[in-house]
Amino acid sequence: MSDFRFGCPHCGQRFTGDAVYKGSEITCPACQKTVTVPNPVARATLPRATASTAKAATESADISTPALLSMVCALGLGAGSLPGIVLGHVAWVQLRRHPGLRGRRLALAGLVLSYTFLLVTGAFFLLGVVVLNPKSGRQLTAQQEAAGMTNAAASQLVDEVKIGDDPSEAAHGLTSQFSGKGVYLDRPVRDAINGGCISYIMKVDPVRPMTLRCTYWGNDNHRRRFDILINDHVIATQQLEFNDPGHFFAVDYDLPPTLTAGKTEVTVVFQAYPKNTAGGIYRCQTRCR
C-alpha cells in the first residue's frame, strides 16, 4: 500500500487514500459532491548534507595568509617574534571580518609562540645586563683626569701603584698569574692573559668613601674583559673595546663603604675572563671621593 493525501476540489476537505484507487470516484462526506481520486504526486526531496560534502566545503575555504605567516615567523624564534605578533593580530581581524576563512588555530599558535619567545629573549637580556654583568666604572674625560693630577686634588690620593716599577709593585704585594709588564708609548703597562689575574694590596681611608682609579689605553680591544674585585667581592666588570681611540683614559670605580669602613688596606684583583686579558693597566690609585 502507498497512502497519500489529497483534498476535495469543492470544499477543501482532506482525504487519505491508497494509490491503487487513483481515478476512482468517491462522494465527499462534507459537501456530498463527487470527487475523483487524483494521481499521487511524488514528494520532492531535498538533498541532505553529508559529512563528506561538509568536509569538502570546509576544505575549499581559503587559509588566512597573515595567520600562516604569523606561524612561520614564530618558528623563527626570537628573530621573528615581533613580526609574528603583528601578523597574528592582523590575522585575527581578518578572520573576524571573513568567517569563511580558515587559520584561527595558526594565528593563535603564532601569537602564543611569538609572545613566549619575546618574553624569554627579554628575560635573558635583562639577566645578562643587570644580574650577570655588574656595573662598570665611571669613565673620565681627559680634562677630568688631568684635573685629578693637580696639587689641589693630591689630597684625595691615598695610594698608588707605579705599574711596572719592581720596588713599588713589590711594596704593594704584587701576585699574578699569566701576567707580564712592558712599555707602550713611553708608559709602563701590565696585563694578565689567558684568564690570568693581577693582585695588589692598596691603602684606603677607614672613614671616607673610596674610589679605585685605573688608566687604560683607548685602542685596546679583542677579548679584554675582566672583573675588578675588592677583598674577593666583584665591584665592576670592565670591557676594553676601543673605548677612547688614540687616547689614554681613566675609569673610577666606587668602592662599597662596607668593604673599606674601618680598614686601612684592601686587596685589589684584576681577574680576566676565560680566554680573555685583564688590562693593560697603566695606572692604579685609591682615592677619596
User: Of all residues in the chain, what percent are helix, strand and coil, respectively (each to 5)?
Assistant: 35, 35, 35
Dihedral, CA of residue 83, residue 84, residue 85 and residue 88, to nearest 10:
120
Tell me how far apart the alpha carbons of residues 5 and 17 are, in angstroms, rounded to a whole number. 6
CATH topology of domain 138-288: Jelly Rolls (2.60.120)
pTM, two decimals, is: 0.55
> Could you list the pLDDT tens digit for every one of the 289 residues in the chain?
567 677 788 787 787 777 777 777 888 888 888 878 787 766 655 555 455 544 544 444 688 888 888 888 877 655 557 888 888 888 888 888 888 888 888 888 888 888 888 888 777 766 655 444 455 677 776 666 666 655 545 679 999 999 999 999 999 999 999 999 999 999 999 999 999 999 999 999 999 999 999 999 999 998 999 999 999 999 999 999 999 999 999 999 999 999 999 999 999 999 999 999 999 999 999 999 8
- Spell out the alpha helix ranges (H) of the chain: 51-60, 65-74, 81-97, 104-126, 142-147, 166-171, 257-260
* Residue 179 burial by Cβ neighbours in a 10 Å radius (0-12, 13-18, 19+): buried
Q: Are 70 and 114 in contact (CB under 8 A)?
A: yes
Instruction: For residue 191, give every residue at least 6 positions away whose Cβ sits within 8 Å of its Cβ, in sequence order, or none.
Output: 179, 180, 198, 277, 278, 279, 280, 281
Q: Are 192 and 177 in contact (CB under 8 A)?
A: yes
Cis amide linkage into residue 195, ω under 30° from 0: no
Tell me how far apart the alpha carbons of residues 269 and 36 are, in angstroms, rounded to a whole number. 120
Instruction: For residue 219, give every residue at least 6 positions away whose Cβ sits within 8 Å of its Cβ, in sequence order, or none.
Output: 242, 245, 246
Domain ranges of the chain: 3-36, 60-131, 138-288
